[in-house]
Amino acid sequence: MFYTYVLKSNKDGKLYIGWTKNLRNRIKEHSEAQVNATKNRLPMKLVYYEACLSEKKAIEREKQLKTGFGRAYLKRRLE
């Protein structure tokens, strides 16, 4: 399985959207400041994820969620 996931920064309240093959390991990397994009925004909390059957689908979904429509979808889902 592949995962598209959304983290929310407790520091600035902003979202980070990514994809991974190993969700547990990737969340651990984020929390240990091993990811440049989020290391200055810690702590981060996993607020949403979707499982995908292929890497291609996970990447496509990540790109969709990063659009204006995708962010609006997440806002509705997370409220």
Cβ atoms of 16 and 44 within 8 Å: the answer is yes
Residue type, 31: S
Question: What's the whole-model pTM score?
Answer: 0.94
What are the domain boundaries of the chain?
A: 2-78
What's the CATH fold of domain 2-78? GIY-YIG endonuclease (3.40.1440)
Q: 10 Å Cβ neighbour count for 54? A: 10
Q: pLDDT tens, position by position, for the chain (79 residues)?
A: 999 999 999 999 999 999 999 999 999 999 999 999 999 999 999 999 999 999 999 999 999 999 999 999 999 999 8
